[in-house]
Structure 1
Amino acid sequence: MFFKSKILIFLPTLIFGSILTVSSSSWFSAWIGLEINLMSMAPILLNKSTPKSTEATIKYFIFQALASSMLIFFILSSSVMFFYSLGNYLLYIITASLTLKIGMAPFHFWFPQVMMCSNWPQCFILLTWQKLAPFILLSFCFCNFFNLIIFLSALIGMLGGINQFNTKILLAYSSIIHSSWMLSLIVTNNLFWGFYLLAYTLITLSILYPLSSFSSSFFNNFLLMKFSSFSKSLFFINFLSIAGLPPFLGFSIKIFTLISLFNSNFSIFLILVLLLSSFVSFYFYLRMMFSSLFNFSWINNFIWYNSNSFKLEIWFIFISFFINSFIPLVIILT
């Protein structure tokens, strides 16, 4: 099972907090939803009494509490007549608080560290579900600060991932890049960002679910998994999808994003930065996979393993391959 029983206990309140935020009619109720979400995520990160788990929980809680403090400051300030004269400064505060919650640059420092200390199911929640509510709130408070965040997230995401071989940290920086793409869609008032997040969630799940049965965080060790060479090849294809290689799902959502940005007269400079970040992320994913392939003998890879603990992961690799391959075809045909 991908989510352990201890995590499943807090998942309902985690989901409820995000839904409350999304469906809120006021900033205060949205803040309450985010706090419920935070109080549920902290014990999920602390599901094991280990130093790494404790470190991840403390770091996550401190930075999320800081973001919540900035958000409640915005809520209280906006209700006082004196602070109306501050104008855009309040928008800068709320933008900073929400991007801090997501882990976008320049407020990203906690995100790779928490990812490194978390297990794979926790990483999946951090990479996907925890972005939903803050992104929806960001869609209601556009300001010029967004362009700077998009630029810095794309830049820091590609620079931070170049020299990384720890897969969790690499996924964290890749997530920062994908967040910059989603924020660019929010800037253009395009609801396609929701589909982008959904597609990114499917791709991330197709990668993290098989890895959840393997304790290592370094890609060189993943070839030791008890999968056949064919299953490992499909697993690599899922990595190529999140890297944006055509004709897979990760490439398709970026093509549709680019079309939307051009149609909305988005900044050409920022589009070029986003494209450059995608090329660099494709490079460090490809480099990681090739270094793994050349450092490991393929002789044992042609042996099929019948261990029951790996059967579900193998089937999931097959299913995720078809999702990454055929959903883009369906989108094009429709």
Structure 2
Amino acid sequence: MLNNTSKIMFLSILMMGTMISISANSWLSAWMGLEINLLAFIPLMSDNKLMSTESSLKYFLTQALASSVLLFSVILHMLNSSNFNSYYLMEMMISFSLLLKMGSAPFHFWFPNVMEGLSWLNALILMTWQKIAPLMLISYIMIKPIIIMSIIISTMIGALMGLNQTSLRKLMAYSSINHLGWMLAAMYNSNLLWMVYFLFYSFLSFSTIFMFKMFEISHINQLFAVFFNYKILKFLMMFNLLSLGGLPPFIGFYPKWIVIQSLTMNNQFFLLTLMIVMTLITLYFYIRLTYSAFMLNYYENNWMYISNFNSMNMKIFMMFSFFSTFGLFLITSMYYMLL
């Protein structure tokens, strides 16, 4: 992707659009940044494949709908700034449009279908970078009933809908919806918390998708035989998946840990219990992947490309996997050393 100069240009414009949105001092300029971001991402999605063209069209239509609702709400907000009831209604409409933009439940319907047609690199951008601006904007107008509704539905949809998936892209999409619920819960109490959670989630998504991209894996059944000669890689890949699910010994548990602590201190026990139960379901389908890959070991021809064990990509993957697996031990050790 980065060998193509036009892709580099569109990637730069995409980043610039997000920066405009998060540094804007008015809703109109924030909307403008979101539009620049959208129009730069569409050419990146379209790589002359039927599925990617369909995904880019679906993405454009849903984002255009969200943008039009956002612009309509902002204009009405500016016209009726004196009326409190209309002011609250406009903020609700702005919240709904931003939830639709980032693919949070109950406005998640487009997200797994768009993910299914994208390359792994575009899927990573959609799961991480494209959520920064809507999350930052929604943190400005925190309407608590809407946020709580989205947290509950996002964690439930992300957990339950991921159970019957065989496509890894859709699995990652529903995992992303579940993590969005946790980010909104972190945002409910502190802006710093959701940023920390987002950084950890981006790191884990990058390490997992980097491995999927390197071995050209798209479906669950490809996981069984792809690492037949390299057992250590199979272990590292499964540790990455379990870390993304938030299993305690791995680094993916750390952001969930601080969100759990924050919700406990604010006495939001019902919300916390529901989120933990739903996260256990997401852990179930990650463990289902790892259990099958470890226990069902069979010989078959492997038609997928496996890069050299000593290549640079492999070294990068090993480094990310090391931090994903042992990062929690390193963080806690540094914390106690600084004390």
The TM-score, its normalising length taken from structure 1, stands at 0.92
**Post-superposition offset of 1:283:** 0.1
Counterpart Cα distance in 2 of 1:45 and 1:4: 16
Q: How does 1:16-165 map to 2 (within 5 A)?
A: 16-46=16-46, 48-81=47-80, 84=83, 85-143=85-143, 144-165=145-166
Query: Residue 27 of structure 1 contacts residue 75 of structure 1 at CA under 8 Å; is this kept in 2?
Result: yes
Give yes or no for the alignment of 1:198 onto 2:199.
yes
Counterpart Cα distance in 2 of 1:235 and 1:299: 20
**Post-superposition offset of 1:4:** 5.5
**Post-superposition offset of 1:165:** 1.7
Q: Counterpart amino acid of 1:86?
A: S
The alignment partner of 1:161 has SS state of coil
Q: Percentage identity across aligned positions?
A: 36
Give yes or no for the alignment of 1:246 onto 2:248.
yes
Query: Residue 128 of structure 2 contacts residue 202 of structure 2 at CA under 8 Å; is this kept in 1?
Result: yes
Which residue number in structure 2 is paired with residue 270 of structure 1? 271
**Cα offsets for 1:15-38 (capped at 9, x unmatched):** 000011111111111111000000
Query: Residue 215 of structure 2 contacts residue 307 of structure 2 at CA under 8 Å; is this kept in 1?
Result: no
Counterpart Cα distance in 2 of 1:286 and 1:166: 16
**Post-superposition offset of 1:92:** 1.4
Alpha-carbon distance change, 4 to 174 in structure 1, aligned in 2, over 3 angstroms: farther
Query: Residue 165 of structure 1 contacts residue 288 of structure 1 at CA under 8 Å; is this kept in 2?
Result: no
Counterpart Cα distance in 1 of 2:168 and 2:3: 21
**Post-superposition offset of 1:114:** 0.5
Indicate the larger mover: 101-110 or 316-325: 316-325
Alpha-carbon distance change, 121 to 172 in structure 1, aligned in 2, over 3 angstroms: same
Q: Counterpart amino acid of 1:290?
A: Y
Alpha-carbon distance change, 4 to 138 in structure 1, aligned in 2, over 3 angstroms: farther
**Post-superposition offset of 1:3:** 5.0
**Post-superposition offset of 1:307:** 4.6
**Post-superposition offset of 1:116:** 0.7
Counterpart Cα distance in 2 of 1:45 and 1:183: 27
| Residue-pair matches, total | 328
Structure 2: segments with no counterpart, 5+ residues: none
Alpha-carbon distance change, 306 to 200 in structure 1, aligned in 2, over 3 angstroms: closer
